[in-house]
Amino acid sequence: MFEIMLIVYTLYTIVKIYISVMEAKFVASKKDGKAIILSEKNFKEAGEYKIETSKISIVSSLYDLLIFFAWIGFGFKTLDSLVGFDNSMLYTVVYIVAFSAINFVLGLPFSLYQTFNLDKRYGFSTIDVKTYIIDQIKGIGMFLVFGSLMIWLLAFIIESFESWWIYGFSAIFIVILFINMVYPTLIAPIFNKFSPLDDEELQSAIENLLSKAGLKSSGVYKIDASKRDKRLNAYFGGLGKSKRVVLFDTLVKKLETKELLAVLGHELGHFKHGDIVKNIAASALMLFIMFAFFGNIPAEIFEGIGMSKSPHMVLILFLLLSPVLSFLMMPIFGLLSRHNEYAADEYGSECESKEALASALMKLADENKSFPLSHPLTVAFYHTHPALTERLEKLGVNVS
């Protein structure tokens, strides 16, 4: 079983690299051709950016494989010798926090390169070093407090119940729901400044749109996204009474009112069609499968690593191997998600017009330099939205 785990992770890495290689070749064959949707300049730049990110993905996949074998070969044992706590609960928390800290440091070069080199060169990133460091400190602080509590909770459940994975899934799913509920009101404001929308006409139009959809919101807010990035976005955050409409200041500047309302109408379409509940159910199913899998890992795997089947090692394998399970399940969940997007587009166009939504989607793609074409394998494993060309054709726009 231990050998099978090593083979599966290696195959997972090979497949990821193959998809990245195919994506880079596909985009390279298209980027110098006739520009579609984007301006000619942005079409070419978007293609070059996509190729560079694919190359980074190849390198990072190989890097992750190397780190995986390093942990399996000597890392776990070395860390075990350094963590000297007799209390099993404290040991588990410290061990996993240390494991996460080491992986964070090892992955930092990719984060720095992406933010301060690649994204700067292509005109996306506006973040300065001070803001980046502050963001990292805030994120680390939240992980140390809340992450440690979650680790302690799971360790307690593993030690207390034979079928721990059922209770573990239930506990973590409740925590995830809670985080989604408080994210827009308690977590997001830690990183971004939220301010009421200063355009009364737009505010009134959005509230009217929400009222027609039957959605009660705690407010419409604009955030200072341009402090970190120039890309355009908006989202509905929160659950229950905490729901709020969040607009990036970059989006408000670039889109006309009718285009912005069409985009929000698309998001409301997900609410009207119950997609939020469907997504929660799908996430719950994926999480349940993961807990069921890791709750029944054979002891031979732990013996192969040279470690006991203890709470900290069960959770470590969860962290190491859950991306593999997610990757295997993504084609199914991605297919369902892409199906839902078409229905949301239809509702968004009904809120304003097909022309307004199409215009907004094209502006978003052009401003964000999102290359509109992708290899089928990339779409199958990574895309939660249909190709923009297909969405626009559904809206009656000829993009050929």
Chain segment 64-89, per-residue pLDDT in tens: 999 999 999 999 999 988 987 878 88
- Give residue-wise pLDDT tens across range 289-326: 999 999 988 888 888 888 888 899 999 999 999 999 99
211: in domain: yes
User: Which CATH number is 216's domain given?
Assistant: 3.30.2010.10
What is the tens place of the pLDDT at every residue in 107-127? 999 999 999 999 999 999 999
Residue 242 is assigned to a structural domain of this protein: yes
Structural domains of the chain, count = 1
Between the CA of residue 344 and those of 184, 264, 266, 272, 338, what are the distances in Å?
22, 10, 5, 9, 10
pTM for the whole thing?
0.90
Instruction: Specify if 226 maps to a domain.
Output: yes
Instruction: Specify if 235 maps to a domain.
Output: yes
> Which of 231, 260, 314, 324 is CA-nearest to residue 286?
324
58: in domain: no
SS3 222: strand
Residue 207 lies in a domain: yes
- CA 12 to chain CA mean position, Å: 19
pLDDT band at 400 (very low <50, low <70, confident <90, very high): low
pLDDT band, residue 220 (cuts 50/70/90) = confident
Answer yes or no: is 209 within a domain.
yes
d(CA 37, CA 379): 18
Amino acid at residue number 35 = A
How far apart are alpha carbons 229 and 225 in whole angstroms? 6
DSSP 3-state percent helix, strand, coil across the chain (nearest 5): 75, 5, 20
Domain membership of residue 81 (yes or no) is: no
Check residue 201 and give its pLDDT.
86
Tens of pLDDT, residue by residue over 122-147, are: 999 999 999 999 999 999 999 999 99
Q: Which domain holds residue 226?
A: 195-248
